[in-house]
Structure formats: structure tokens, C-alpha cells
Amino acid sequence: MGTIYDLAKKTGFSITTVSKALNNYKDVSDKTRAKILQAAAEMDYLPNAHAQSLSTKKSWAIGVMFSEANEVGMKHPFFNGIIESFRHATEEQGYDLIFASRNLRNRDMSYLEHFKHRAVDGIVVICSDRMDEQVQELMRSDIPIVVVDMDSANCSVVYSDNIEGARLAVNYLYELGHRKIAHIAGDETIDAGAARIKGYELAMQELNLPIRPGYLVNAGFFSVGEGKQAMERLLELDDQPTAVFVAGDQMAIGVIEAIHEHGLHVPNDISVIGYDDIEMIQYITPKLTTIRQDTDEIGEAAAELLLEQMTAKERLTERRIIPVRLVERASCAPVKQ
């Protein structure tokens, strides 16, 4: 591979000139530039990123932090769609992604510390838990940052229009004739959960529908199992809902499971609508009608907001809310007379 010293020796120029030629400085003649590039190609020269970063204070790396709350990490079907799209967008600008550990030579360190150690140019955090101390610390720092799926006044954020999504869901059920509409909700400590609850309440109010006792049930953190449990609570009610709006697709899978185990049919007995539009719900029975979050667009928006800060070299606080849309499949039907 070699260094610029080797290149300098080989071509007879100084390392200064070599470096300039490589970096397209204008004060080197076309002829010498050509010679140097030629020599570089011949010896497969590649600049050392660490030396460059040390000297320029720019690492061309973006640190990514996943919420580890549920220990799924990159397996999360919604988050990994976002990160994939984010990666594509930043890759085009020449950035690499680094997934940091919290372990430095067996010494524990926070994500912020690790990112500072690595001197990343920016940080993306994909996390729903606003109480996470690690995330708080990142947000307080002065490194360019964008956080996804969570709101904050102190840094750039991007998330879906959860209130509108909830409204879409409720209105859709209403138009199918449903009046007894329940909501299986995500925990209120999670922004997405709270916003969808709010949207549900708003929509119900706008439609002059009462939220009957027990119709708003907290199902925690979006897992299949929690969804199932929540639905079982609804099925115990004397006054059962005819439709349920579920705050997440994974939960909705559990919800459908519970309904089926109860001997009821989806959607003939109970309609269910989910949220997210993760891939697998196209393959369950019935195919789930849901509110689609556009992971591609979320990832791109996040990249955009972060790149903006990195080139401006200052923190900005922009909020980007991505529209959602309803995807009609087969889990909702007109209410039975």
C-alpha cells in the first residue's frame, strides 16, 4: 500500500505536493498531478483514514445508537428499515456508520464517551425511550445529532405523524360503521405510544364517540405477547368493542391470536387495524390492515437533518414529521348489524 512518503520518493516530489495533488489543490500543475496520480494507482496507494482524521478533525463516520430497551438491537423490524435507508443516504455522501460498543479495553464507557473517543462527525439515535439516560446525555452534548421516533426541543428529530395516523385509523373504522372502537396502546413513556393515544382520543372526540370504560388499554412495549394479553382484557369486557386500533403491528399479531383463540373471527366479529406496516403482516391471516410508516422516508429525512448539521458544523434543531397512510388489507370489515 505505502504512504505519501513512498509516493513522494517514487515521484521525486515532496510529500506536500503529493498530498496536494491527491486532494485536488489548484496550486499543482496538471502534469505533476498526473504523474502522482499515476504512481498512486500503480502502487495501490490508499490514504490512511486515521492519519487524515487526526489531521483534519473530520472522521467521515456517523455513530449509531440503537435503543436496547428490548434487547432486539438490529433485529427490530421497524428500526432496521430506517437504519438501512439512513445508511444508503449517508453512504452517498461518503460517510460510514459505526456501531459502537460500550466497552473500551474493558473499561465501561457511555455511548457519548465512546463517540467522542471515536471522534464521529455526527450521531443518529433510534430510540423510543425518552428516559434513557444514555440518550439524554447524547442530546445534551454538542455533537451534531438526529433522533428518530422521539420528540425533543433540543435537537433535530424525525418521526411519523402519529396523531394523524391514529386519526386515520379511527376514522376508517368509523366509516365501516364501527362505534365501539377500542385502543390497545403503547406505553405513555414512549412518544409514539403517547401520541397515538392522543390521536385516538382526539379522533373519538371529533366523532362524538365516548371512550367506554376499559377501552383504552396499555399494552406496554409493543411486543406480540403484550398485545395478546391486552386483547384478552378487552375480551373479558361485558361490552366488547367491535373494532380495535392497535398501536403496533407486532402487538396486532398477538391481538389477532387472542381473538382467534377466543373462537371469534377477524374481521367478521372484530376488526383490527395495526400500526407500522412491517413486512411480515402481509403474510399472516388475515392480512393486516395498518397505518404505514414510511421507513425509507424517515431514514432519508434523518440523514438529511444530520448531514445539514455536519456541514454547517453546528447543532440545529429541526423537527420533521413524516406523513403516514392507511394500507387497506383484510383485517377490517363493516360492523355487523
Partner DNA sequence: CAAATTACCGAAAGCGCTTTCGGGAAGAGG
Partner DNA sequence: CCTCTTCCCGAAAGCGCTTTCGGTAATTTG
Residues that bind a copy of itself (CB under 8 A): 1, 46-51, 53-54, 59, 61, 72-75, 77, 80-81, 83-84, 87-88, 90-106, 109, 113-114, 116-119, 224, 253, 257, 279-280, 283-285
Task: Using the minimum distance from each CB to DNA, give the nearer residue, 19 or 331.
Answer: 19
Look up residue 129 and give its DSSP letter.
B
Residue 32 touches which member of a copy of itself, DNA, none, C-beta under 5-8 Å by kind: DNA
What number of other Cβ atoms are within 10 A of residue 161's Cβ? 18
Phi, psi of 290 (to 5 degrees): -155, 170
Look up residue 334 and give its DSSP letter.
P
C-beta of 26: minimal distance to a copy of itself in Å?
17
Phi, psi of 14 (to 5 degrees): -80, 160
Phi, psi of 89 (to 5 degrees): -65, -40
Q: Residue 243 pairs with which residues in a beta bridge?
A: 181, 271
C-beta of 203: minimal distance to a copy of itself in Å?
28
C-beta of 120: minimal distance to DNA in Å?
15
What number of other Cβ atoms are within 10 A of residue 242's Cβ? 20
CB of 252 closer than 8 Å to CB of 227: yes
C-beta of 156: minimal distance to DNA in Å?
26
Task: Using the minimum distance from each CB to DNA, give the nearer residue, 34 or 330.
Answer: 34
The label of the residue with cell 364517540 reads 209
C-beta of 168: minimal distance to DNA in Å?
50
Task: Using the minimum distance from each CB to DNA, give the nearer residue, 15 or 211.
Answer: 15
C-beta of 153: minimal distance to a copy of itself in Å?
25
Burial class (CB in 10 A: 0-12, 13-18, 19+), 22: middle
Residue 73 touches which member of a copy of itself, DNA, none, C-beta under 5-8 Å by kind: a copy of itself
For the chain, the straight-line distance linking the first and the last C-alpha, in angstroms and rounded, comes to 77
Residue 28 touches which member of a copy of itself, DNA, none, C-beta under 5-8 Å by kind: DNA
Residue 262 touches which member of a copy of itself, DNA, none, C-beta under 5-8 Å by kind: none
C-beta of 42: minimal distance to a copy of itself in Å?
15
Residue 29 touches which member of DNA, a copy of itself, none, C-beta under 5-8 Å by kind: DNA
Residue 290 touches which member of DNA, a copy of itself, none, C-beta under 5-8 Å by kind: none
C-beta of 49: minimal distance to DNA in Å?
8
Give me the torsion for CA of 217, 181, 289, 268, rounded to 10°: 110
Task: Using the minimum distance from each CB to a copy of itself, give the nearer residue, 58 or 319.
Answer: 58
Secondary structure class of 85 (helix, strand, coil): helix
CB of 239 closer than 8 Å to CB of 180: yes
| Conformation bin of residue 94: beta by default, left when phi > 0, alpha when psi is -120 to 50 | left
**Binding residues for DNA (CB under 7 A):** 3-5, 12-17, 19-20, 22-23, 26-33, 45-48, 51-52, 54-56
What number of other Cβ atoms are within 10 A of residue 81's Cβ? 20
Task: Using the minimum distance from each CB to DNA, give the nearer residue, 121 or 164.
Answer: 121
Residue 283 touches which member of DNA, a copy of itself, none, C-beta under 5-8 Å by kind: a copy of itself
What number of other Cβ atoms are within 10 A of residue 141's Cβ? 17
